[in-house]
C-alpha cells in the first residue's frame, strides 16, 4: 500500500517568507508526528498528533512554527517568517492505532532551504 507522502519534496524560500509543508499519512493511521533533521541538531521531534489534537507540541522551536491536522488525516506544518536556521529536512511519520510502541512509518521528507 501507499506509504507516508510529503510535499513538496524540496522548497527554497527567502528569509522572512512563510512556508507550508504537507504530510499525507498512511490510511488508517491515527497518530502523526513531525520531526526535523538538520546537520547541527540531528533528528529532533517537533509535534505529535492523535487524531486532530496535538497532545505534545513540546518540540516546536518557536511560535513561528505551527501545525494542524484535519479529518484525522492530512497535516500541515507552517513556518512563519522563515529564518536561515530553519533550513532542514522536515520528516513526517505516522503509526497505526494501538500501543505507543507501534512502529512509526516515515515519509521521504521535505528539504527546506531558506536563503
Partner 1 sequence: GDSVTQMEGPVTLSEEAFLTINCTYTATGYPSLFWYVQYPGEGLQLLLKATKADDKGSNKGFEATYRKETTSFHLEKGSVQVSDSAVYFCALLATDSWGKLQFGAGTQVVVTP
Return residues touching partner 1 (CB under 8 A).
3-4, 31, 33, 35, 42-45, 48, 50, 55-56, 58-59, 91, 93, 95, 100-101, 103-109
Place of cell 520531526: 35
Specify whether the CB–CB gap between 106 and 4 falls below 8 A.
Answer: yes
DSSP 26: P
C-beta of 18 vs 56, nearer to partner 1: 56
- CB closer to partner 1, 80 vs 105: 105
Asked if 34 and 90 touch (Cβ cutoff 8 Å), the reply is yes
CB of 61 to partner 1, least distance (A): 15
CB of 113 to partner 1, least distance (A): 18
Q: How far is the CB of 79 from partner 1 (least distance, A)?
A: 20
We find the least distance from the C-beta atom of residue 59 to partner 1, in angstroms, to be: 7
Whole-number Cα distances in Å, 24 to 32, 83, 84 = 9, 25, 26
Closest to partner 1 by CB, 80 or 104: 104
Neighbours of 92 (CB within 10 A): 27
Amino acid at each position: 500500500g501507499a506509504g507516508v507522502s510529503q510535499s513538496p519534496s524540496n522548497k527554497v524560500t527567502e528569509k522572512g517568507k512563510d512556508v507550508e509543508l504537507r504530510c499525507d499519512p498512511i490510511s488508517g493511521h491515527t497518530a502523526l508526528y513531525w520531526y526535523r533533521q538538520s546537520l547541527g541538531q540531528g533528528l529532533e521531534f517537533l509535534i505529535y498528533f492523535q487524531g486532530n489534537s496535538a497532545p505534545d507540541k513540546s518540540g516546536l522551536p518557536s511560535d513561528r512554527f505551527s501545525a494542524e491536522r484535519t479529518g484525522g488525516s492530512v497535516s500541515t506544518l507552517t513556518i512563519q517568517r522563515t529564518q536561515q536556521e530553519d533550513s532542514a529536512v522536515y520528516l513526517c511519520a505516522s503509526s497505526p492505532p494501538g500501543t505507543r510502541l507501534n512502529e512509526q512509518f516515515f515519509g521521504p521528507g521535505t528539504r527546506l532551504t531558506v536563503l
